[in-house]
Amino acid sequence: MDAETLAKIEGLLFVVGDEGISISELKDLIELEDEEIIETGLERLKQDMDQTNRGIRIARLGNRFRLTTKVEHAPLYKKLAASPIQGGLSRAALETLAIIAYKQPITRVEIDDIRGVKSDKAIQSLSSKLLIEEQGRVVGTGRAILFGTTQYFLDHFNLETLEDLPSLSELDLTNDGLEEDTDLFFEQFNQLEEE
């Protein structure tokens, strides 16, 4: 079994994800004539993963094979799943976060006015992900909560201070189409999250 065929099998197992792949599908994709070569390759990959104590293994589910994680690492994966930022941000949450980041401290009503829709769920989501926090209350009737970003927000977006946010002029939001401007803004703001 040559290393290139093993690499192809491993790569295909990774790409198919949870769906898995059959020996027959692997054979056809790699363009081999004998399924026994695939079976031998899968067995060799399994042994290599076991012997080198890798974090993944090959699992068989019916007639399909897929990559899975080691059972003994389950507590680590639970910890990741419980991470405040895990799960990403919806467009509404990103939009709300951008408004808070640039206009803070700001009330929920002011955010709703800018967005044109209610922001309760987005604010709740951002708070639970530790990206925003209460930063006081408005003086006067009702004493509305003022929201602002957290230190975790700066850390997550790899910023030292709020001054490191791109200026609105840098974001080039001067086009006539409001929808295009909004899409461009969030595309550029989202790039900060990915960096």
Which of 17, 39, 18, 15 has the alpha carbon at shortest distance from 27? 39
- Which pTM does this prediction carry? 0.48
Based on the domain organization, do 17 and 56 belong to the same domain? yes
Query: What is the pLDDT confidence band of residue 174, given thresholds at 50, 70 and 90?
Result: very low
Based on the domain organization, do 69 and 101 belong to the same domain? no
Q: What is the pLDDT of residues 54-95, one digit of tens each?
A: 989 998 888 999 998 888 888 877 776 666 555 677 888 888
Arithmetic mean of pLDDT, 113-129: 90
Is-contact 64 20, C-beta < 8 A? yes
Residue 181: predicted pLDDT: 46
Q: What is the pLDDT of residues 122-161, one digit of tens each?
A: 999 898 888 999 999 998 888 899 999 998 888 877 788 8
Domain contains 62: yes
pLDDT exceeds 90 at position 179: no
Based on the domain organization, do 62 and 137 belong to the same domain? no
Residue 103: predicted pLDDT: 92
Is-contact 67 14, C-beta < 8 A? yes
CATH of the domain at 50: 1.10.10.10
Residue 178: predicted pLDDT: 42
Arithmetic mean of pLDDT over the chain: 83
For residue 38, the enclosing domain spans: 3-74
Q: What is the pLDDT of residues 30-39, one digit of tens each?
A: 999 899 999 9
Instruction: For residue 8, give Cα distances in angstroms to 15, 26, 91, 193.
Output: 10, 9, 37, 32
Domain end position, chosen among 47, 74, 101: 74
- Which residue has tokens 């919806």? 90
Based on the domain organization, do 100 and 187 belong to the same domain? yes
Contacts with 156 (C-beta within 8 Å, 6 or more apart), sequence order? 85, 131, 193
Based on the domain organization, do 152 and 190 belong to the same domain? yes
Domain contains 82: no
Based on the domain organization, do 102 and 180 belong to the same domain? yes
Domain contains 151: yes
Domain contains 138: yes
pLDDT exceeds 60 at position 185: no
Domain contains 51: yes
Number of structural domains found in the chain = 2
pLDDT exceeds 90 at position 176: no
Domain contains 143: yes
Based on the domain organization, do 70 and 102 belong to the same domain? no
